[in-house]
Amino acid sequence: MPRKISHIAPEWWDYTTLEDDLINDAARLTERDLRQLSRPGFKVVMFDTLEDFYLAEALEYIHAWKQATPDNPAGICGPVGPTEQLPLVARLINDLGISIKDGHFWGMDEWYDENTKKEVTMEHPLSFERADRALCFDRMQKKLCMPDSQLHFPKADTAEYIKSWQSGVRCVLMQGGQGDIKHWAFNDPPKRTGKWKNEPPPPADDPSMPEQLDKSEGVVAFPYYRWHHNIVVPEQHPLTAERELTLAALAHWPIVTYQAGLTGRVRVDEAFAEAGIHPQILLTAQDSDVIKTYVELEMGVGILADMAFDPQRDKGLVQLDGSRLFAPHTAWIGLKQGQFQHNFAWQFIQLCNPELALAEIQARAMSNEPLLDYQI
């Protein structure tokens, strides 16, 4: 029997498509039930009124910026939604005369225009940058506000935005807000389309998964390198004292890792399932840097790809070997089957995997096509 159609977003597999019994069970949770979800690295806080909540959000901005100094710049990453805290931030800055000249701000997301292939302009009514500026930063006294160069908003070309994260500025806090379909930022649920029209795709069957590249029809794949998942924790974390790290030890802590179907997440799930252990998956993300940020904020223990950790850059964090806990992966280089390539393409693949001969690479890539020497 097909699952329900969402009454919020009919084209998506959002939470309203779940079974009624499951939704009703969640709705029956009491305040006490929710408070009991608190555990190391994850704290549930209840507010008496919405006004108290918005003030708490505004104060998080202030506390983050007050940690910034000329030698140690710091900031906060925030969404648009809710927005009620933004005018409060500006008012607190102005009324208390707090200088945030060394502070930074990162907008969490932005709308993308399919027609222009760029982010929406500031004139667009849904522009997140427009909302952040109009509701918060434009209301601050200029003598107190950080310079415009320290306001970072995502663009379609993400190079500058990524550079701002890698510039040594510390992100003290990342706020998040749930959308109507319970998504975080633009991490949307699966779309109802094609073979997944009546049932949502199980992660292992999603053809877009990188783990499926070597099995994709019409694609020839060459192995590049092997990698595995490691564990990342803050310095002085109790897990650093473990002589032999185990899955059972990890399961005692809230875990932050990749979204289902991304960056080998299936291997993580399989390892815990085979051990009969139910891990506390607190948060998931697409990007390794986001996972490390959550770990830095002590929201949980990170499980991420070993090559995503840099001891020089990731100060304050420690990487623990997970090669004994999780099955290894292979990174692949893929080409369209039977498509002619420039000579440098074959040579690049051989540089990545010297065990392969050029003739073997060409033969596998061209399949039954004649090996013509189109070298440019």
Q: Any idea what the Cα angle at residue 202 is, between residues 224 and 187, rounded to 5°?
A: 80
107: amino acid identity, one letter:
G
pLDDT at 202: 66
**d(C-alpha 193, C-alpha 138), whole Å:** 42
Answer whether residue 185 shows pLDDT above 80: no
pLDDT in tens, 269-309: 889 988 899 998 988 888 888 899 899 988 899 999 999 99
186 contacts 156 by C-beta, under 8 angstroms: no
pLDDT for the residue numbered 344: 82
Asked if residue 208 has pLDDT above 80, the reply is no
pLDDT computed for residue 248 by the predictor: 93
pLDDT, tens only, 67-77? 999 999 999 99
Residue 233 pLDDT more than 50? Answer: yes
pLDDT-derived band at 90 (thresholds 50, 70, 90) equals very high
Label residue 7 by pLDDT band (50, 70, 90). Answer: confident
Mean pLDDT of the chain: 85
- Amino acid type, 236: Q
Confidence of residue 367 (pLDDT cuts 50, 70, 90): low
User: 3.30.300, 3.30.200, 3.40.50, 3.90.550: which CATH number matches 1-201?
Assistant: 3.40.50
Q: Per-domain residue ranges for the chain?
A: 1-201, 225-329
- pLDDT band at 239; cut points 50, 70, 90: very high
Tokens of 371: 């090996």
Give the lowest-confidence range in 119-128, 184-193, 266-275, 292-301: 184-193
Asked if 33 and 25 touch (Cβ cutoff 8 Å), the reply is: no
CATH number belonging to the domain at 225-329, selected among 3.20.20.70, 3.40.190.10, 3.30.70.3280, 3.60.21.10: 3.40.190.10
What pLDDT score does 91 carry?
96
Q: What percent of the chain has pLDDT over 90?
A: 40
Helices (H), ranges, the chain? 20-27, 31-35, 50-66, 85-96, 128-135, 159-165, 247-250, 265-274, 288-296, 343-352, 358-366
The pTM is what? 0.52
Of 373 and 255, more confident: 255
Average pLDDT over residues 29-39: 85
Mean pLDDT of 215-225: 75
pLDDT of residue 354: 85
**What band does 158 get if pLDDT is binned at 50, 70 and 90?**
confident
Chain-centroid distance of CA 364 in Å reads: 35
- Asked if residue 93 lies in contact with residue 141, where contact means CB atoms within 8 angstroms, the answer is yes
Alpha carbons 179 and 110: distance in angstroms, whole number: 14
